[in-house]
Amino acid sequence: MWSTMLQSSSVRLKRGSNSLSSDSKKRGYIVPIGGAEERMRDPAILKRFVELCGGESSRIVIIPTASKLRSTGSDYEKVFKDLGVREVRSLAYQDRADCERQSWLHVLEQADGAFFTGGNQLRLSTTLGGTSVANMLRDRNRSGDLHIAGTSAGAAIMSQHMIAFGEEGATPHADMVTLVPGLGIVENLIVDQHFRQRDRLGRLLSALAYNPSSIGIGLDEDTAAIISHDGSIEAAGSGAITIVDPAEVEYSSMDSAHKSDPVSIIGVRLHILIEGGHYDLNTRRAFPRANSSARR
């Protein structure tokens, strides 16, 4: 059972680095999902998250804040219970005051995994940003005590620089994307979701033109990026992950482009990964599943 007894030393909030460097030996897994993940017939991605959290003995918290539907939290509770998880609890943070409730903070502190549902990522950033909940999520993930997954809006919120709005299309434009602060679960990554289905390459490229120190991850629906503590990204699910790496960009016209102008970007690298493919954030190299042994 979830313990509701509060201990004076149980909730310790601290700030620290949330980078994905190889020095973070014990960091928890981070699993952004592109939305519309299979939940009924073969919920392979959610099963994988349950395994990462410890299987049937794990405690998983659902954070349905992004959704306006009151049933979202309970719906995901049922999904995870059907997968064999014995202890699942929905924490429906509706306003910022909820994020300071000591009983809920204690539940979050005991969890092995936290799952963000889809909806509106701005509801997540404006409700959770800068609160004890956001600090605890980052700190417990950094220390390896908590694994974090999120679908759709729940994937976008993990970025330090989060895509809030954007237009469809493959060509980047000067005013194509609006960036706001996310929760910063991952640094130096910009995550976009429903990627192929909603034609979002242009807005991810535009976001990276503003932030060329970051790497872009475009997630198709029913597809996840399983990010481990050593900086390895594994593709899982029925779609693909698009990795956009601007490290070798030679030229960008973003600084001189006028409103609605197309933007030229020269030298960007792009990888498409399907189930089992890997990308190493440290070496910036991609590997197909068949050649994964080449990483050793």
Question: pLDDT digit string (tens) for 16-49?
Answer: 333 454 444 689 999 999 999 999 999 999 999 9
Per-residue pLDDT tens digits for 115-146:
999 999 999 999 999 999 999 999 999 999 99
Q: Which residues pair with 147 in a beta bridge?
A: 113
Distances (CA, A) of 152 to 139, 187, 210, 247: 23, 18, 22, 26
Superfamily per CATH, domain 30-295: Class I glutamine amidotransferase (GATase) domain (3.40.50.880)
The DSSP code sequence of 180-209 is EE---SBSSEEEE-STTTTT-HHHHHHHHH
Continuous H helices in the chain: 44-53, 72-82, 102-110, 121-128, 132-142, 153-156, 201-210
Domain residue extents for the chain: 30-295
More confident: 221 or 5:
221
Residue pair 60/113 in contact (Cβ under 8 Å)? The answer is yes
Average pLDDT of the segment spanning 2-9? 46
Q: What is the pLDDT of residue 93?
A: 98
* 38 phi and psi angles, rounded to 5 deg: -65, 125
Give the largest Cα separation in the chain, rounded.
58
Q: Would you name the residues annotated as active-site residues?
A: 152, 194, 221
| 295 — pLDDT class (breaks 50, 70, 90) | very low
More confident: 295 or 40:
40
Distances (CA, A) of 233 to 6, 22, 280: 37, 13, 6
Whether the per-residue pLDDT at 258 is higher than 80: the answer is yes
Q: What is the pLDDT of residue 290?
A: 72
How many beta carbons lie within 10 A of that of residue 287, not counting itself?
Answer: 19
Give the separation between CA 37 and CA 49, rounded to whole angstroms: 12
Rg (CA), the chain: 19
Whether the per-residue pLDDT at 245 is higher than 80: the answer is yes
Per-residue pLDDT tens digits for 146-201:
999 999 999 999 999 999 999 999 999 999 999 999 999 999 999 999 999 999 99
Q: What is the pLDDT of residue 141?
A: 98
Residue pair 163/195 in contact (Cβ under 8 Å)? The answer is no
* Listed residue (86, 96, 133, 107) closest to 7, CA to CA: 107
| 291 — pLDDT class (breaks 50, 70, 90) | low
Whether the per-residue pLDDT at 273 is higher than 60: the answer is yes
More confident: 15 or 229:
229
Average pLDDT of the segment spanning 45-73? 97
Average pLDDT of the segment spanning 81-106? 98
Q: What is the pLDDT of residue 262?
A: 98
Average pLDDT of the segment spanning 4-25? 42
